[in-house]
């Protein structure tokens, strides 16, 4: 046995160390979560154009938050970090209740134009020398939509939806993302990417897509689906997306891929694919079971 442990001085040192650890742990438990008790907080905000009032919402960690958003036109309002999506329209405010379980500053933006409107600040409750406080999970980075991106919003009985038409996207498997570390494009979870004729998705080098001679009528179509009550993205559906050319009346299905932006992450989860979409007028129909919504685009 060690002489240090067997000696009275050694045993005293060990006991003292145990007591220090015990009292430090007790301090975390007793003081690490002190402060005002959790509260129910209601925030009623109004968005006119690109101005939100009030623009700064503040609460404490573990408060229950009810946020009601009213706008002067149909919009998708995105609360980053918490990834809550509000779909208000004139006379129809969107209201979501959720726990304040992340601390930090979280940007609120108009999703279609990537316009920041304000911040939700969740403060940690008072702690003992900072012990026991949750980590700061601030989320204030806004990823701007590329120029020329078209976005329409709509809803069904159970869901809010956002349909986006933009430039063709490189689409990677999770294994390719892990090995190639792309900075743009989509990561696919199910389905198979569609590419122009003569381009085999299994052999095309996605990292070189910007330099490829891709016909300009090829674009990327995606549908984002959110739970109406919670504002959360829904990842467990099997939607059917069809595209109707208004000039010819021809309707065709979109080969379904589930994916999310490589940079944007899980909050960007959506359904869709690359598609041959020449200039014209189209109706995109998104059906989820017996519910469906139509979106009209001039491409």
Q: What is the pLDDT along the chain (299 residues), one digit of tens a residue?
A: 444 445 556 555 554 554 444 444 444 444 445 667 899 999 999 999 999 999 999 999 999 999 999 999 999 999 999 999 999 999 999 999 999 999 999 999 999 999 999 999 999 986 555 566 889 999 999 988 888 999 999 999 999 999 999 999 999 999 999 999 999 999 999 999 999 998 887 777 777 776 788 999 999 999 999 999 999 999 999 999 999 999 999 999 999 999 999 999 999 999 999 999 999 999 999 999 999 999 999 99
Q: Do domains 40-123 and 150-298 have the same CATH topology?
A: yes
> Hey, CA dihedral for 100, 105, 108, 111, is it positive or negative?
negative
Q: Is 167 exposed, middle or buried (0-12, 13-18, 19+ CB in 10 A)?
A: middle
Look at the chain and count its residues: 299
Q: Nearest 5 degrees, angle CA 63-CA 64-CA 67? A: 120
CA dihedral 253, 257, 258, 264 (to 10 degrees): -110
Chain centroid to CA 140: how far? 12
**Sheet of strand 40-48: strand arrangement:** 51-53, 40-48, 64-71, 94-99
Please name the helix (run of DSSP H) or strand (run of DSSP E) that holds residue 28, with its range, or none.
helix 8-31
Domain boundaries, the chain: 1-31, 40-123, 150-298
> Hey, CA dihedral for 82, 87, 88, 94, is it positive or negative?
negative
* Rounded distance between C-alpha atoms, residue 141 and residue 135, angstroms: 18
CATH of domain 40-123: 2.60.40.420
150-298: CATH topology is Immunoglobulin-like (2.60.40)
Q: pTM, whole model, 2 decimals?
A: 0.85
Task: For residue 57, say if its preceding peptide bond is cis, omega within 30 degrees of 0.
Answer: no
Task: Pull the structure tokens for residue 294.
Answer: 């139509």
């Amino acid at each position: 046995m060690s002489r240090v442990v067997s000696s009275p001085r050694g045993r005293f040192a060990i006991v003292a160390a145990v007591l220090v650890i015990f009292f430090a742990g007790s301090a975390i438990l007793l003081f690490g979560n002190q402060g005002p008790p959790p509260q129910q907080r209601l925030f009623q905000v109004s968005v006119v154009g690109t101005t939100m009032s009030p623009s700064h919402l503040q609460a404490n960690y573990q408060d229950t938050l009810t946020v009601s958003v009213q706008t002067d036109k149909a919009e998708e309002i995105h609360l980053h970090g918490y990834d809550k999506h509000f779909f208000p329209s004139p006379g129809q405010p969107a209201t979501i209740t959720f726990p304040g379980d992340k601390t930090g500053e979280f940007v609120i933006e108009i999703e279609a134009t990537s316009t920041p409107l304000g911040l939700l600040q969740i403060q940690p409750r008072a702690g003992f020398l900072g012990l026991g406080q949750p980590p700061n999970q601030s989320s204030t980075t806004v990823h701007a939509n590329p120029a020329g991106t078209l976005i329409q919003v709509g809803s069904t009985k159970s869901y809010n939806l956002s349909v986006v038409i933009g430039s063709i996207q490189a689409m990677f498997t999770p294994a390719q993302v892990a090995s190639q570390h792309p900075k743009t494009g989509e990561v696919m979870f199910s389905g198979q990417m569609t590419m122009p004729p003569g381009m085999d998705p299994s052999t095309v080098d996605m990292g070189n897509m910007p330099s490829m001679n891709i016909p300009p009528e090829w674009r990327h179509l995606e549908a984002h689906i959110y739970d109406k009550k919670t504002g959360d993205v829904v990842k467990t559906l099997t939607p059917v997306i069809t595209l109707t050319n208004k000039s010819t009346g021809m309707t065709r299905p979109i080969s379904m891929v589930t994916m999310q932006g490589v940079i944007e992450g899980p909050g960007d989860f959506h359904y869709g694919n690359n598609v041959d979409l020449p200039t014209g007028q189209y109706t995109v129909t998104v059906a989820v079971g017996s519910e469906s919504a139509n979106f009209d685009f001039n491409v």
